[in-house]
Amino acid sequence: MNHAVSAHPDITAKLPGWRATALFAALLLLLIGLLMRGIYLQGIHNDFLQKKGDARYSRVIEVSAHRGMITDRNGEPLAVSTPVQSVWASPSDVEANHRQLKKLSQILGMDVAGIKSRIFNVSRNFVYLKRQLPPDQVDKVVDLNIPGIMLQQEYRRYYPAGEEVAQTLGFTGQDDNGQEGLELALQELLAGKPGSRRVIKDMRGHIVEDAGDLRAPRHGKDVALSLDGKVQYLAYRELKNAVLSNRAKSGSVVVLDARSGEVLALANYPSFNPNNRSNTSIRSMRNRAVADLFEPGSTMKPFTIAAALEAGKIRPNTLINTENGVFSVGGRKIHDTHPEHALTVAQVIQKSSNIGSAKIALSMAPELLWKNFSNSGFGERSGSDFPGEASGKLHDAKTWRPIEQATMSYGHGISVNLLQLARAYTIFANDGELLPISMLKVEEQPSGKRVFSENTVRAMRDMLESVVSANGTAPLAQVAGYRTAGKTGTAHKLENGRYVNRYVASFVGFAPVSDPRLVVAVMVDEPNNKQYYGGLVAAPAFSKIVGAALHALNVPNDAPLDNVIVTPVDVMREEV
Amino acid sequence: MLPSSHGLNILLLFAVVGCALGLVTSQHKARKLFVELGKEKDLAQQMEVEWGQLQLEQSTWATPRRIGEVAERRLQMQTPGIGQIQFIRIEPDGQTKYQP
């Protein structure tokens, strides 16, 4: 005890002074270490903590951008994207009993085994069950409330006009990118670019602050086409009638604005439903009016005759010896369906004489004829920018033999697409200027390229108007209340290098003649119901389209309403 | 330290605390308003979607094909024949004139 008591005063004396100093130094070192670490974390190497901190409250969210709408020239929608939901599963999170799966399979229209194989495939962590569901089915899937089955918003494109404009508009794929037609050609304009932005969320997940756009979304632009919904419908309806009633393989029609070169309608039959492409054949997706080439036949004659008129070789009343229907060039014979002794140049057009046309062509140098054809837009693209447009074939004049020059004058040995052919007729509808084609709405009148003089064109118009008279090849192309003009074509088809007895019947014309507003080209491929002449197969469709379209566009009459003459029983026929 | 400057300091202290509280409230208000704005933006987005869908619906109901069918089948209408049409042209002076 004594020892303990006596020991007390000695404690401080016994502790050496260095211990306090050492402790102090150690604590100081620790403090400095902490400070350094603090400075290091907060000041020098602060990204890591910043990131961790941000991750607690800031989120980057995707801002979707929709694809632009395609409308007709009056703003009527032709293609609209609207959000739809797709159902997807995260296989490792799915918890569902058999009854739920059965219900799900009924809603989605899939078999249970198929669904099971997908949602229990744990090797993947994202699997689509069904894309682009209608809203009512989406509600039912939500009601099932199966963990691990989720929805994702996507866009789906709808085409209210359906099959009428199907090939022209084309369509988009699953991810709403253009795949065919104008959807593909206008992809740059139409496509939206999704953006993202950083936001600050509170603990309930509400966005409380905008921390700035990382990438601003770019919405797709709306595009107004040159098409007129009404005219397009009329054109498609009459084309369909013409193809079906003539039991033809297919048909196409092009309607152009004669003043601006805008495409008012472009239709093909057979067509497909762009809103449901499950049973669509590749054949019906083809935009024949621009992608297919054919030999135009007699619709080419006006360009031959106009070239000769322009060169001063002939006048409309020049008499041509048509050799009683048979004429041989270089050992090959050219025939006329209606043998005549002699015809004036105007009658060569009116009655579509091959011999007359061949003789006129042979009176010109090949280069001159070639130049006129080429200036009229043959052998080059129409400038519609349509994907897959065929440019057509116009061989170099140096390679022409006389027989080729003769047959080319009536449209054999040259190939065109229908849009090209329609465009070439803007020359006659427009005082001699070839207009550029546009699929988009044009605000300003485009300037054309002069091909023929006004005098030549005026003479040609008179001749083309005589084609639809009682003595011409196409009285069925007449329209009540309007003067029309045009040219028929009935061309043999080429198969493996030989001409066969299958035909392409066509009619290209314009109206009203006093002040042309529309150029319409109708082409029917392989009509197979007793008649195959352009004047009988294509001209009636032309007449119906022009009549209805001029009414729809409110174009004043330029002829009395009783101008349609009773058609003779035997319409003048022409071949080629 | 002078007593007057002491009072000033206390005053400033209260002012600082007041400002700080004000900042907190206004920040809170700003966030509330921002949430509100977000909701309205969502609504606008939804309405835009709905507008697109309505446009789609309208143009589907109003296709020329459907109008033609309804006119012919349900309303028993038909395209007038040549003898049934009379054109009236409006002259530049506003007068109307029958066309032959």
Ramachandran angles phi, psi of A479, nearest 5°: -130, 135
Q: Give CB contacts under 8 A, 24+ apart, made by A11-20.
A: none
- Asked whether the CA dihedral A223, A224, A230, A236 is positive or negative, the reply is negative
CA distance A134 to A112: 20
| Contacts with B, A 76-115, CB within 8 Å | 76-77, 80-83
- Say what the pLDDT of residue A1 is: 44
CB pairs < 8 Å spanning A and B? 57
The helix (run of H) or strand (run of E) holding residue A520 is: strand A518-525
CA distance A310 to A428: 13
Chain A interface disruption, residue of B42, B60, B84, most A CBs within 10 A: B60
CA distance A109 to A34: 64
User: Half-sphere exposure of A394 toward its Cβ, with a 13 Å CA cutoff?
Assistant: 24
Give this complex's ipTM.
0.74
What CATH number did the domain enclosing A353 receive? 3.40.710.10
**Token pair listed for A65:** 């951008």
Same domain, A258 and A136: no
- Say what the pLDDT of residue A253 is: 97
- Sort A181 into a burial class: Cβ within 10 Å, 0-12 / 13-18 / 19+: buried
- Say what the pLDDT of residue A568 is: 54
Same domain, A264 and A372: yes
- Report the pLDDT averaged over residues B82-90: 74
CB-nearest to A229 from B35, B55, B64 is: B64
Same domain, A162 and A237: no
**Cβ A322 vs Cβ A353: under 8 Å:** yes
- Say what the pLDDT of residue A17 is: 82
For residue B98, the distance in angstroms to the closest alpha carbon of chain A comes to: 12
- Say what the pLDDT of residue A64 is: 79
CB-nearest to A158 from B56, B64, B65 is: B56
In order of A243, B5, B8, B24, the CA distances from B12 in angstroms are: 93, 10, 6, 18
Same domain, A349 and A479: yes
Same domain, A422 and A322: yes
Which is higher by pLDDT, B35 or B96?
B35
Same domain, A176 and A82: yes
Q: Do A161 and B52 touch (CB under 8 A)?
A: no
| Contacts with A, B 72-91, CB within 8 Å | 82, 85, 87, 89
Q: Which residues share a beta bridge with A150?
A: A88
Same domain, A212 and A316: no
Tell me whether residue A29 is in a domain. no
DSSP-assigned letter for residue A259? T
By the CB < 8 Å criterion, does A231 face chain B? no
For residue A229, the distance in angstroms to the closest alpha carbon of chain B comes to: 8
By the CB < 8 Å criterion, does A556 face chain B? yes
Q: Do A83 and B49 touch (CB under 8 A)?
A: yes
CA distance A462 to A486: 10
Q: Which residue of B has its CA nearest to A156?
A: B53
- Say what the pLDDT of residue A234 is: 94
Quote the domain boundaries for residue A256.
229-272+285-552
Tell me whether residue A249 is in a domain. yes
Question: What's the number of domains chain A is made of?
Answer: 2
- Catalytic site residue A298? yes
Tell me whether residue A27 is in a domain. no
CA distance A351 to A369: 22
Pick the catalytic residue: A298, A382, A384, A466? A298
By the CB < 8 Å criterion, does B49 face chain A? yes
User: Which 3 state secondary structure label does DSSP give A440?
Assistant: strand
Tell me whether residue A57 is in a domain. no
CB-nearest to B55 from A77, A233, A556 is: A77
Tell me whether residue A561 is in a domain. no
Tell me whether residue A558 is in a domain. no
Chain A contact set for B92 (CB, 8 A): none
Same domain, A333 and A317: yes
Q: pLDDT tens digits for B8-60?
A: 999 999 999 999 999 999 999 988 898 888 899 889 988 988 888 898 889 88
The helix (run of H) or strand (run of E) holding residue B34 is: helix B3-61
> Which regions of A202-341 does DSSP assign to beta strands (E)?
207-215, 223-224, 250-257, 263-269, 319-321, 326-329, 332-335
Kindly tell me if the per-residue pLDDT of B88 is higher than 80: no
- Say what the pLDDT of residue A305 is: 95
- Say what the pLDDT of residue A132 is: 80
By the CB < 8 Å criterion, does A237 face chain B? yes
- Rounded average pLDDT per 10-residue block, chain A, 576 residues: 51 74 94 93 82 79 86 92 86 81 84 82 80 81 84 87 92 86 92 86 74 82 94 95 95 95 94 87 88 93 95 92 89 88 93 93 94 93 84 89 92 93 95 93 89 95 93 90 94 88 95 95 93 92 95 87 66 61
Tell me what percent of chain A is helix, strand and coil, each rounded to the nearest 5.
40, 25, 35
- Say what the pLDDT of residue A525 is: 95
Q: Which residue of A has its CA nearest to B52?
A: A82
Same domain, A368 and A219: no
Tell me whether residue A321 is in a domain. yes
Tell me whether residue A195 is in a domain. yes
End-to-end CA distance of chain A: 141
Same domain, A409 and A261: yes
Same domain, A329 and A453: yes
CA distance A349 to A486: 10
Q: Which residue of B has its CA nearest to A228?
A: B64
